[in-house]
Amino acid sequence: MADIDVAKLRREYEGPHDIVETSDGKELFLRIWESRGGSNVSVLIIHGITGYSGPYGPMVADQLCSAGHDVFGVDLRGHGLSDGRRGDYPSEERFVKDLRETLAQVRSRSKKLVLMGHSLGALAAVVAAKNNPDKIDGLALVSAAKRIRTGVYPRPSTGAMLKVMMGVALFRGSPVIEYRRSGQVGLDDPLFNLRYSARFYSVLYGAGALKVMGMLRSGLIDSPNLTLDGKLKVPLFVAVGENDELFTADAAQEFCGSIDCDDKEFHVVPGARHAVWPNGSFTPLVEWLGKKF
């Protein structure tokens, strides 16, 4: 990743896209999948850890576009074609502002907007929803739960734990913590991130990096950033793949049940994994969008 000129790749990208100019002078890449019209509802996708917006075209955006929805996908700071130190986030305040500024820009192009978060992007979507309730008309959380399957994350070696502790104590902004899990995708894509800073974990999870490492080892994600404050006042859609490597269907349904919302749906998608969804997997989401909006 260090050998790739992200700014150059962003300038050379010829597909439909926009740029979010952040209030601290950075550029966030906003990929656009344009439909042929037919719906007044747009969808903004926030990608999961290690990833970026590109792979969500064949995964979900193409199907949503075929149903008439315009789809946007933001590359979070330090990911994909966006500015920022790879695998790092400078502060939780900046994280909240980036989400707010992205939502505002997409909302200006949309009559109605549904925010969709996938995996760690679901956590980001919850943070965005909590801080910008007036800017979204619906919330979709995919491949997310608070209980992780046993054995997903290998027990770290002594050396790996020392590296984490050094990252916390001395190099909070340096991406020295390698991300590995069973079933991981994107290992052959140079735009995927495979290393993160202790500060990134602290910002995204709203907890200290060592506590986050403890969460991942214990299998219980006790993150304040994954908890909505009060009642969610917009329709909620929650889905998980039948063969998700991180979360069981029971754990995802439990997560859905923990959200105070009077209008919610939960789906288990046959044949889908955590980040690999067969063609047509998002038919329940398309149908939900049609019913609710």
Q: CATH no. for residue 45?
A: 3.40.50.1820
Same domain, 35 and 143: yes
Provide the 10 A C-beta neighbour count for residue 195: 17
Same domain, 26 and 130: yes
* pTM to 2 decimal places: 0.94
Q: Which of 106-110, 122-126, 162-166, 203-207 has the lowest mean pLDDT?
A: 162-166
DSSP state string for 5-49: -HHHHHHH--SSEEEEE-TTS-EEEEEEE---S--SEEEEEE--T
Same domain, 167 and 51: no
For residue 118, pLDDT over 90 is answered with yes
Same domain, 125 and 41: yes
Look at residue 219 and tell me if it is in a domain. Answer: no
| pLDDT confidence of residue 2 | 52
Look at residue 1 and tell me if it is in a domain. Answer: no
Q: What confidence tens digit (pLDDT) does each residue in 41-84 have?
A: 999 999 999 999 999 999 999 999 999 999 999 999 999 999 99
- The model's confidence at residue 1, banded by pLDDT at 50, 70 and 90, is very low
For residue 86, pLDDT over 90 is answered with yes
Last residue of one domain, picked from the residues 212, 233, 249:
212
Same domain, 278 and 181: no
For residue 293, pLDDT over 60 is answered with yes
Look at residue 88 and tell me if it is in a domain. Answer: yes
What percent of the chain clears pLDDT 70, i.e. is strictly above it? 93
Same domain, 11 and 43: yes
Please give, one letter per residue, the 3-state secondary structure of 78-119. Answer: CCCCCCCCCCCCCCHHHHHHHHHHHHHHHHCCCCEEEEEEEC
Picking from 256, 40, 72, 20, the residue whose alpha carbon sits closest to that of residue 137 is 40
Q: Measure the CA–CA gap between 200 and 209, rounded to whole angstroms.
A: 8
User: How many Cα neighbours within 13 Å face the side chain of 135?
Assistant: 21
Last residue of one domain, picked from the residues 166, 189, 212:
212
Residue in the block written with tokens 């609710």: 292
For residue 100, pLDDT over 90 is answered with yes
Which has more pLDDT, 234 or 215?
A: 234
User: How many Cα neighbours within 13 Å face the side chain of 94?
Assistant: 18
The strand ranges marked E within 204-286 are 236-241, 264-269
Task: Work out how many domains the chain is built from and give that number.
Answer: 2
For residue 201, pLDDT over 50 is answered with yes
For residue 261, pLDDT over 70 is answered with yes
Same domain, 180 and 282: no
Q: In the numeric block, which tokens belong to residue 256? A: 């859905």
For residue 191, pLDDT over 50 is answered with yes
Last residue of one domain, picked from the residues 185, 212, 239:
212
- The model's confidence at residue 90, banded by pLDDT at 50, 70 and 90, is very high
For residue 151, pLDDT over 90 is answered with no
For residue 166, pLDDT over 90 is answered with no
Same domain, 277 and 143: yes
Structural domain that includes position 173: 158-212
Same domain, 116 and 236: yes
What percent of the chain clears pLDDT 90, i.e. is strictly above it? 79
For residue 14, pLDDT over 80 is answered with yes
Collapse the DSSP code of 214 into the 3-class scheme (helix H, G, I; strand E, B; otherwise coil) and give the result. Answer: helix
| pLDDT confidence of residue 53 | 98
Same domain, 171 and 43: no
Average pLDDT over the chain, rounded to an integer: 92
